[in-house]
Structure 1
Amino acid sequence: MLLTILLLIISYLLGAVPAGLWVGKIFFNKNLHDFGSGNTGTTNTFRILGRTAGIGVFAFDLLKGTLAVLLPTFFHLHGLSPLIFGLFAVIGHTFSVFDGFKGGKAVATSGGVVLGFSPLFLVYILVVFGIVLFLFSMISLSSIAAAVSALIGIAIFPAFHFILQDYDLLFSLIILVLALIIILRHRANISRIKSKTESLIPWGLNLSGQHKI
């Protein structure tokens, strides 16, 4: 029991590491909260600090979710699903004790959790993300679409034994929670999408006609 509690705390603290915030302050003398969207996640890091920093922060945020899922295996812990540890990492990322309980929008870290448990399911989500990104040129909309596609996947795929061979109640519940976190964290983006003022990437078709800012 003590080991379980300790690893859950470690998972939260691992997820809570605000890589974008710290990289900005240490290497660029910039506080991401003061620039762009004010978010410390991958997208704002790319926008404010550049490609190299963005890739590094994305990789770190992704892998901390994966590492949290793998912690029970590393320590030969049984009795509690690895997904619970991944969820704690996502909670840490979203409500970081190192950043005044603020945080990112949970997209990369949630992807890391899925990577650690079902890599093929993550590939499916990434395909949806990429298609929506090409069509609409918005990271935010692509992230929301990926979350929705995950919900559709857990509902439909097990019925056809495609990617997910059977219905897994806990996996479905974790995906539901992660998807809701992602969607709720994008509420402001949804409002900007509706008003056609959402930020775009310089790639894709921008089919929704957002005003490029």
Structure 2
Amino acid sequence: MDILLIAILFIAAYLIGSIPTAVWIGKAYYGIDIRQHGSGNSGATNTFRVLGKKPGAIVMFIDIFKGWLATSLAGLLVIFEAIPAEHIVVYQLILGALAVLGHIFSIYERFKGGKGVATLLGMMLAIQPVVALMCMVIFLIVLFTSRYVSLGSMIAALAFPILLLLPRFHPDNPILIVFGFILFAVVALTHRKNINRLLQGEESKANIRIGRRK
């Protein structure tokens, strides 16, 4: 029974992460396939670029929530005594990683999806909320100084395991740090085209003006 519950939640985490928020919202409310416009990516950044601030914010919130919800399913395993309470972090990492992979390889869209940064943030918020919020601040600092969303995303993803190395945030289970570096590698892999454009000086800068467009 325990194995069955674990398997069901693993599948659920992947299916939750696979929800292609930007694609479904773009088609349902705007008659647009977000993947055919802008950067062609089905994530929040391209939604901001193509559809505007409101739908972009909605997509970002839902994608973050996907990661948080999938990771939080680990609590059910403890409640139903399927795993010991001291193992919850391991299962949080597995469930969160499955959600991130689902976002990148969405079963609903022929295993093509976004880059997984927002879903990864939701995962981090569920496991280490203080460190995750610090990573958000780092992302915003990099974004407003460089205007590169991709650079901010990668630096923030790298900051997560590095911050966990500090004595104040060092977790009892070191696997969290190892997993953090692995997830950074995944983020870097999904941003490989952005890295090439950054090195060549061809990466598009974000329009972060707060004022209304004319």
The amino acid of 2:144's aligned partner reads: F
Q: Which residues of 2 match residues 24-35 of structure 1 at below 5 A?
A: 24-35=26-37
The answer to whether structure 1 residue 108 and structure 2 residue 118 are counterparts is yes
1:105 partner SS: coil
- CA spacing shift, 1:149–1:72, aligned 2, 3 Å: closer
Q: Which residues of 2 match residues 51-130 of structure 1 at below 5 A?
A: 51-74=53-76, 76-77=79-80, 78-79=82-83, 81-130=91-140
CA offset at residue 153 of structure 1? 1.7
Percent identity (aligned): 36
CA offset at residue 83 of structure 1? 1.8
The amino acid of 1:170's aligned partner reads: I
Confirm or deny: 8 A CA contact 1:16 1:97 kept in the other structure: yes
Equivalent-residue separation in structure 2 for 1:48 and 1:203 (angstroms): 14
- List per-residue Cα deviations over 1:110-133 (Å, max 9, x = no partner): 000000011001011112111111
Confirm or deny: 8 A CA contact 1:18 1:103 kept in the other structure: yes
RMSD over equivalenced CA pairs, Å: 1.5
Aligned to 2:207: 202
| TM-score normalized with structure 1 length | 0.88
The amino acid of 2:96's aligned partner reads: G
Gaps of 5+ in 1: 205-213
- Number of aligned residue pairs: give it: 199
Q: Choose 167-176 or 5-14, whichever is displaced more.
A: 167-176
Gaps of 5+ in 2: 210-214
- CA spacing shift, 1:8–1:174, aligned 2, 3 Å: same
Equivalent-residue separation in structure 1 for 2:138 and 2:102 (angstroms): 26
Aligned to 2:189: 184
Aligned to 1:209: none
The amino acid of 1:168's aligned partner reads: N
1:3 partner SS: helix
CA offset at residue 13 of structure 1? 0.2
- List per-residue Cα deviations over 1:84-137 (Å, max 9, x = no partner): 111111110111001111111111000000000110010111121111111100
The amino acid of 2:155's aligned partner reads: A
Aligned to 2:150: 140
Confirm or deny: 8 A CA contact 1:43 1:54 kept in the other structure: yes
| TM-score normalized with structure 2 length | 0.88
The amino acid of 2:29's aligned partner reads: F
Q: Choose 120-129 or 143-152, whichever is displaced more.
A: 143-152
CA offset at residue 150 of structure 1? 1.8
- List per-residue Cα deviations over 1:117-175 (Å, max 9, x = no partner): 11001011112111111110010110011122123223x31xx2x1x243522212321
